């Protein structure tokens, strides 16, 4: 019988199925961080049980960490306590921790792939919704809550119901200045922030196949922003080339065996999807969001929807959102003054993102009215950026290159956007207050963010290339 | 503390806003605790309080007219981050049920794991609840988990809601998933022997 990519992996991980209920799904890899794990460890402790398979867990500190002076003790007390609790718990339960000061430390969804921990065919979970990122390698990866973190620690399993299946095909060639972030912002603007709730989404089509691994990760990363349970892309030569030689990737004979298995991981020709969407890559222009959820995005040359373009039912939310953003219905977005540019987060903080920004800003200077923060996704990305001289380019442009962490993506550390200020951000969420109380976030690609950094306002990067 | 839930009759707190994301339910800067308690204090923090800590009068949690164990919200409730702190905050504040016409997946799972019952109703029925509360702020809603029904007491209007049978049993009896998973440890170990990962 023909099967989809999702089904092939799902079925291999079912321990058993409860009659009329969910299935017991075996989890291969479990990633943890300081914010959503302490209560899970406390739960184990209370039950007096151990971690079942500590070798299948990898920990890092990312959400709460400062992005300057990482060699000094964390100043903010509660953040420090949380990071210290992680150190203590990992030591006590025998879990590998890539904490502050470790050469592998970084945002959990950046380090998994770059260390070769993330592999095709696996089930991967983390107490973090952007776990969907890992699906770019052709695996089932999804975010879980803390109770579930505790379950996986205790049993390496979760109770899950099989989601519905959706395939999104993006075919054709991307326009100049359009990158993978624009593809995913375009898709979400098309189907809305809840358009894929209840579905596992496979991204396919020639435009997706032609993307690098980094670019694929950006797409899968944001599949949660349309509500999807997970996002995935079938592994291919691009995947294998990226993985080969990475620290925890299989070696020698095992590598060959794995690759021949991984090559079977694709949706069969007549696999059945509950929903299928076709997109022409040529229809996509650089995207930007104007509202307070990631579905409120437009092509950069377009205007913010006018009131008569919004249904009666959507009006209250739309108006509330624009009020928060202090933007006018029907207005153009190009030319809007920007105060901050944030280049970072698990969506766009990989070396390729930094290279993309560096090649655009080389020899240019940032506008006086903007502050630009570049936060690499990991120590390894930071190291490579320095080796390639990208740090120099940023320095000359007046960009502030910081140390790895989640940073202004969620403003848990000191990196907050002040109230009322506009930030063009390469992160994934423009919710009210996400980057700091009353901060106003506009999501865009690293290129569009870099363009704004140079001009000081929302700009069409195509005109600057 | 018995966690089990079956019949809940209560007045409701209406929050007629779509796409309530978990950053609104509990902003990230309040996620620094290492225990599960006390999150109710910061539930809807930035909608509830001014930056100087003064309550915002026009926010529904600050309006003494409305109270109860049932939170009723518009479409796509709980989208965004996987933080279970959102479910903890709602439960800790005193709600046992959240009603909406559409829930985000992870939130729904988190709610169920914390004996906070997410009840999905049709758009039309959701509107009827908002209408009933507009008419009478103390309008009673009855949620019956065993029967899988939600009823507006004043009018007798009723709708059935879906819940996975397994989860229903857990909620009715106060069982956790983890108890079940621990009980099948032998099956898991047997599975591992033939599973290559
Ligand atoms: S970078 Fe942002 S979205 Fe990614 S894991 Fe960190 S906080 Fe979450």
pLDDT of residue B3: 84
Q: Can you say how many angstroms the Cα of residue A187 is from the centroid of all Cα atoms in its chain?
A: 15
Tokens of A41: 């460890």
**Contact yes or no for B187 and A194 at CB 8 A:** no
Q: How many CB pairs under 8 A join A and B?
A: 185
Decide: A409 in ligand 1 pocket, CB within 6 A.
yes
pLDDT in tens, A188-200: 999 999 999 999 9
Average pLDDT in chain A: 97
* pLDDT reading at A444 higher than 90: yes
pLDDT of residue B1: 43
Q: Is A121 left (phi over 0), alpha (psi -120 to 50) or beta?
A: left
CB atoms within 10 A of CB A330: 12
**Contact yes or no for B34 and A229 at CB 8 A:** no
**Contact yes or no for B23 and A127 at CB 8 A:** no
Across residues A305-320, what is the average pLDDT? 95
Decide: A29 in ligand 1 pocket, CB within 6 A.
no
pLDDT in tens, A238-285: 999 999 999 999 999 999 999 999 999 999 999 999 999 999 999 999
Instruction: Using a pLDDT cut of 70, give the percent of chain A over it.
Output: 100
Contacts of B187 (CB under 8 A, 6+ apart): A15, A16, A24
pLDDT of residue B196: 80
Q: Angle CA(A401)–CA(A72)–CA(B27) in degrees, nearest 5?
A: 70
Across residues A370-375, what is the average pLDDT? 98
pLDDT in tens, A72-83: 999 999 999 999
DSSP per position, A204-247: ESHHHHTS-HHHHHHHHHGGGGGT-SEEE----HHHHHHHTT-T
- CA dist A25 and A4 (Å) reads 18
Decide: A63 in ligand 1 pocket, CB within 6 A.
yes
Q: Give, to the nearest 10 degrees, the angle between helix A146-155 and helix A38-47.
A: 50
Q: How far is B183 from chain A (nearest CA, A)?
A: 10
Contacts of B54 (CB under 8 A, 6+ apart): none
In the beta sheet, which residues pair with residue A160? A23
Instruction: Using a pLDDT cut of 70, give the percent of chain B over it.
Output: 98
**Chain B residues near residue A443 by CB distance under 8 angstroms:** none
Name the residue with tokens 């099967």: A3
* pLDDT reading at B197 higher than 80: no
pLDDT in tens, A394-407: 999 999 999 999 99
**Contact yes or no for B76 and A193 at CB 8 A:** yes
Q: Can you say how many angstroms the Cα of residue B108 is from the centroid of all Cα atoms in its chain?
A: 8
Q: Are strands A23-26 and A14-17 parallel, antiparallel or unpaired?
A: antiparallel
pLDDT in tens, B9-31: 999 999 999 999 999 999 999 99
pLDDT of residue B2: 58
Closest alpha carbon within chain B to A194: B76
Q: Which domains does chain A have, with CATH numbers?
A: 5-160 (3.30.499.10), 164-283 (3.40.1060.10), 330-463 (3.30.499.10)
DSSP label at A178?
-
Average pLDDT in chain B: 95
Ligand 1 centre to CA of B79 (Å) is 15
**Contact yes or no for B166 and A42 at CB 8 A:** no
**Contact yes or no for A317 and B18 at CB 8 A:** yes
* pLDDT reading at B128 higher than 70: yes
B108 — phi, psi (to 5°)?
A: -60, -45
Torsion of CA A353, A357, A360, A361, to 10 degrees: -160
pLDDT in tens, A283-297: 999 999 999 999 999
Decide: A406 in ligand 1 pocket, CB within 6 A.
yes
Q: Which tops the pLDDT comparison, A445 or B33?
A: A445
- Do the interacting molecules here have an ipTM over 0.85? yes
DSSP label at B139?
-
Q: Can you say how many angstroms the Cα of residue A410 is from the centroid of all Cα atoms in its chain?
A: 12
Contacts of B116 (CB under 8 A, 6+ apart): B87, B90, B91, B95, B96, B97, B98
Q: Contact at 8 Å (CB) between A157 and A26?
A: yes
Across residues A452-460, what is the average pLDDT? 98
CB atoms within 10 A of CB A101: 10
DSSP per position, A126-153: ESSGGGGGGGGGSSEEEE--HHHHHHHH
Across residues A42-66, what is the average pLDDT? 97
Decide: A410 in ligand 1 pocket, CB within 6 A.
yes
Q: Best of A126, A409, A411 to mutate for ligand 1, by most ligand atoms within 8 A of CB?
A: A409
| Nearest ligand 1 atom to alpha carbon A428 | 3
Q: Does B109 touch chain A (CB under 8 A)?
A: yes
The 3-state secondary structure of A154-177, one letter per residue? HHCEEEECCCEEEEEEEECCCCCC
Q: Angle CA(B161)–CA(B163)–CA(B167) in degrees, nearest 5?
A: 155
DSSP label at A399?
-
Decide: A128 in ligand 1 pocket, CB within 6 A.
yes
Helix (H, G, I), strand (E, B) or coil at A104: coil
pTM for the model stands at: 0.96
* pLDDT reading at A124 higher than 80: yes
In the beta sheet, which residues pair with residue A124? A29, A141
Question: What order of strands is seen across the sheet that includes strand B141-144?
Answer: B7-10, B141-144, B149-152, B158-160
**Contact yes or no for A412 and B29 at CB 8 A:** yes
pLDDT of residue A21: 84
Of A131, A145, A155, nearest to B113 by CB-CB distance is: A145
pLDDT of residue A197: 95
Q: Does B42 touch chain A (CB under 8 A)?
A: no
């Amino acid at each position: 019988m023909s099967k989809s990519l999702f089904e092939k992996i799902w079925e291999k991980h079912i321990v058993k199925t409860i009659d009329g209920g969910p299935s017991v799904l075996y989890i291969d890899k479990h990633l943890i961080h300081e914010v959503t794990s302490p209560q899970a460890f406390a739960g184990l402790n209370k039950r007096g049980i151990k971690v079942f398979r500590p070798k299948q867990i990898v920990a890092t500190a990312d959400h709460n960490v400062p992005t300057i002076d990482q060699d000094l003790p964390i100043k903010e007390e509660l953040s420090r306590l949380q990071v210290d609790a992680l150190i203590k718990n990992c030591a006590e339960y025998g879990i590998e921790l890539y904490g502050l000061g470790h050469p592998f430390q970084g945002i959990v969804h950046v380090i998994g792939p770059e260390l070769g921990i993330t592999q095709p065919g696996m089930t991967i979970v983390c107490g973090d919704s952007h776990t969907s990122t890992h699906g770019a390698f052709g695996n089932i990866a999804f975010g879980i809550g803390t109770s579930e973190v505790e379950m996986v620690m205790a049993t390496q399993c979760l109770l899950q119901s099989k989601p519905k299946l959706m395939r999104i095909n993006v075919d054709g060639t991307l326009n100049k200045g359009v990158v993978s972030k624009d593809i995913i912002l375009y898709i979400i603007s098309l189907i809305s922030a809840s358009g894929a709730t209840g579905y596992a989404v496979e991204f396919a089509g020639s435009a997706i196949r032609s993307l690098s691994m980094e670019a694929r990760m950006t797409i899968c990363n944001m599949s949660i922003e349309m509500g999807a349970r997970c996002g995935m892309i079938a592994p291919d030569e691009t995947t294998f080339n990226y993985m080969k030689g990475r620290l925890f990737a299989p070696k020698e004979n095992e590598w060959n065996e794995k690759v021949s298995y991984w090559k079977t991981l694709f949706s069969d020709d007549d696999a059945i999807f509950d929903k299928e969407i076709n997109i022409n890559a040529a229809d996509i222009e650089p995207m930007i969001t104007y509202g307070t959820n990631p579905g409120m995005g437009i092509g950069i040359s377009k205007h913010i929807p006018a009131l008569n373009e919004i249904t009666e039912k959507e009006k209250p939310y739309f108006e509330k959102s624009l009020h928060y953003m202090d933007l006018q219905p029907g207005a153009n977005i190009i030319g809007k003054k920007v105060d901050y540019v944030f280049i970072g987060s698990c969506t766009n903080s990989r070396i390729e993102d930094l290279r993309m920004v560096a090649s655009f800003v080389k020899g240019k200077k940032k506008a006086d009215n903007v502050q630009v923060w570049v936060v690499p996704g990991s120590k390894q990305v930071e190291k490579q950026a320095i080796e390639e001289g990208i740090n120099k380019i940023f320095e000359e442009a007046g960009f502030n290159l910081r140390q790895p962490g989640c940073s202004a993506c969620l403003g848990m550390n000191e990196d907050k956007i002040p109230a009322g200020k506009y930030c063009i951000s390469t992160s994934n969420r423009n919710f009210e207050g996400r980057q700091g109380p009353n901060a106003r976030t506009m999501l865009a690609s690293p290129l569009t963010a870099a363009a704004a950094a140079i001009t000081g306002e929302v700009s069409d990067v195509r005109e600057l290339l | 503390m018995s966690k089990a839930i079956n019949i809940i009759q209560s007045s409701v707190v209406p929050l007629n806003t779509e796409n309530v994301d978990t950053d609104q339910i509990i902003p990230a800067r309040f996620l620094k605790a290492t225990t599960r308690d006390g999150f109710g204090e910061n539930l809807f923090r930035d909608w509830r309080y001014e930056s100087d800590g003064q309550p915002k009068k026009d926010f529904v949690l600050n309006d003494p007219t409305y109270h109860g164990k049932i939170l009723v919200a518009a479409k796509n409730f709980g989208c965004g981050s996987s933080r279970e702190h959102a479910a903890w905050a709602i439960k800790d504040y005193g709600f046992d049920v959240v009603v909406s016409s559409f829930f985000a997946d992870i939130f729904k799972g988190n709610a169920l794991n914390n004996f906070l019952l997410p009840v999905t109703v049709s758009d039309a029925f959701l509107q009827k609840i908002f209408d009933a509360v507009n008419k009478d702020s103390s309008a009673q809603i009855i949620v019956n988990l065993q029967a899988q029904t939600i009823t507006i007491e004043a009018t007798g209007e009723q709708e059935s809601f879906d819940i996975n049978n397994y989860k229903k049993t857990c909620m009715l009896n106060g069982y956790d998933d983890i108890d079940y998973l621990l009980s099948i440890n032998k099956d898991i170990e047997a599975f591992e022997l033939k599973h290559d990962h």
